[in-house]
Amino acid sequence: MNTATLRRSAWIGAALPGIWLPLLAWFVFRTHDGSGKALYPMAKYSPYQVHFTLTQFLFLDFPILALVAAYQVYVLRRRDPDFHILPVCVLLVSTVAVSVAVVAFNPGGYFRWFFD
């Protein structure tokens, strides 16, 4: 693969473990009314099954995606010594940290509602 393509894909790979967070926020926005009350008792009963499945799939696989992204950064660093590893690693660590924080602290109760 071309080194430029690998550099761009490293940024995408580092951001991919956190993609489930905006998907969850968008899902909550779609399934709650203006006062924040859920329109459906459980997320799996909403009419947005593709959105629900995609969000659930990306959440369940975010640790694997993070490991793959870390390996990709390692391979890119070995292949291209001029590649600056720090910005990509900061993005990867921050996406994983925010994901773990959302799971641990459950802001707004939306995470538990989604996986109930």
Domain with 33 in it: 3-114
Quote the pTM value. 0.85
Q: What's the total number of domains in the chain?
A: 1
Residue corresponding to tokens 């991919």 = 16
Q: What percent of the chain has pLDDT over 90?
A: 62
Segment 7-27, tens digit of pLDDT: 889 999 999 999 999 999 999
Segment 90-100, tens digit of pLDDT: 999 999 999 99
3-state helix, strand, coil in the chain (%, to 5): 80, 0, 20
| Residue 93: partners with Cβ closer than 8 Å, 6 or more residues away | none
> Contact 14/73 with Cβ under 8 angstroms?
yes
Q: At CA 8, angle to CA 88 and CA 12, rounded to 5?
A: 65
How sure is the predictor about 116, in pLDDT bands with cuts at 50, 70 and 90?
Answer: confident
